[in-house]
């Protein structure tokens, strides 16, 4: 009895084990089938991707003949530079007007500063008087209407100036204000200074030395314009002196008419 039960128990156990094994085998077969299909799908996807990439590369890569033709066309084609347009006179003037920088208007200086830079203009008049340029006796008077005797030259001739006696090194003063127009050396009158007094009047000082003024200088009345020098050979007998001449519009006039 017990043996029969044991045999039946074993048979039932074998049946369970067999069924379990069959189930496991079935699951394994299903898994293997699914894995195989999945691998085929992946392989097919890879093949499709490869084919697609090859097609795209073939489309992008030009044919050998076409690429060579395009290259030859670029190489053989002559590039002609475009000529620059010739500017017209109107265009040049327009460019010049545009490029020319704007200049700011100059500011006007105050009247006081402007006047300070302008030298005063001498304005001697016919009625004005002048000071004696040196103190001394008149050795020879002005004489343009008749000739007078010159001792050194031993001859008679006209005298356009006053010959005023003076010691060597004596100061010579400006007889009137004016502007120095020239400082020259003359054979007859030695170092000679000409001063413009204005309105056509001039004062001329000769037989000088050590002249402190120069051309363009403004001088005042009483300002030193030089010193009496040794007389030239034209006045050696008369002795040292100041040659003093006045002119109006270039013609000699008598200085005595203006001296105070």
- Percentage of the residues of the chain whose pLDDT score is greater than 90: 52
Q: What is the DSSP letter of 125?
A: -
Higher pLDDT, 86 or 129: 129
Q: Worst-scoring range by mean pLDDT, 28-37, 72-81, 118-127, 214-223?
A: 72-81
Q: Tokens 């010049």 belong to which residue? A: 96
Q: Mean of the per-residue pLDDT values for the chain?
A: 77
Q: For the chain, give me the number of helices (H) and strands (E)?
A: 4, 12
The span from the CA of 37 to the CA of 34, in Å, is 5
- Percentage of the residues of the chain whose pLDDT score is greater than 70: 58
Which of the four pLDDT bands, split at 50, 70 and 90, describes residue 104? low
Higher pLDDT, 159 or 112: 159
Which whole number is the average pLDDT over 92-109? 52
The span from the CA of 178 to the CA of 252, in Å, is 18
The span from the CA of 48 to the CA of 61, in Å, is 20
- The distance from CA 216 to its chain's CA centroid, rounded to whole angstroms, is 31
Closest to 144 in 3D by CA, of 237, 250, 251: 251
The span from the CA of 244 to the CA of 133, in Å, is 8
* pLDDT at 24 exceeding the cut of 60: yes
The span from the CA of 79 to the CA of 82, in Å, is 9
The span from the CA of 110 to the CA of 94, in Å, is 37
């Amino acid at each position: 009895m017990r043996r029969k039960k044991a045999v039946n128990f074993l048979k039932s156990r074998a049946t369970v084990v067999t069924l379990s094994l069959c189930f496991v085998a079935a699951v394994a077969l299903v898994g293997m089938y699914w894995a195989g299909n999945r691998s085929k799908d992946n392989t097919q996807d890879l093949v499709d991707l490869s084919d697609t990439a090859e097609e795209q590369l073939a489309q992008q890569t030009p044919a050998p003949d076409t690429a060579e033709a395009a290259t030859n066309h670029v190489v053989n084609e002559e590039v002609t530079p475009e000529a620059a347009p010739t500017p017209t006179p109107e265009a040049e003037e327009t460019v010049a007007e545009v490029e020319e920088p704007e200049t700011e208007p100059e500011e006007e200086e105050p009247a006081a500063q402007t006047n300070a830079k302008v030298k005063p203009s001498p304005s001697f008049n016919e009625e004005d008087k002048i000071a004696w340029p040196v103190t001394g006796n008149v050795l020879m008077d002005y004489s343009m209407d008749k000739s007078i005797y010159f001792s050194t030259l031993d001859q008679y001739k006209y005298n356009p100036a006053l010959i005023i006696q003076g010691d060597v090194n004596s100061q010579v003063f400006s007889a009137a204000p004016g502007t120095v127009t020239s400082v020259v050396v003359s054979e007859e009158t030695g170092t000679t200074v000409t001063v413009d007094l204005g309105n056509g009047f001039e004062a001329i000082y000769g037989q000088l030395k050590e002249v402190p003024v120069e051309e363009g200088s403004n001088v005042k009345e009483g300002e030193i314009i030089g010193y009496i020098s040794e007389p030239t050979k034209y006045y050696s007998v008369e002795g040292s002196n100041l040659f003093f001449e006045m002119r109006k519009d270039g013609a000699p006039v008598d200085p005595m008419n203006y001296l105070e």
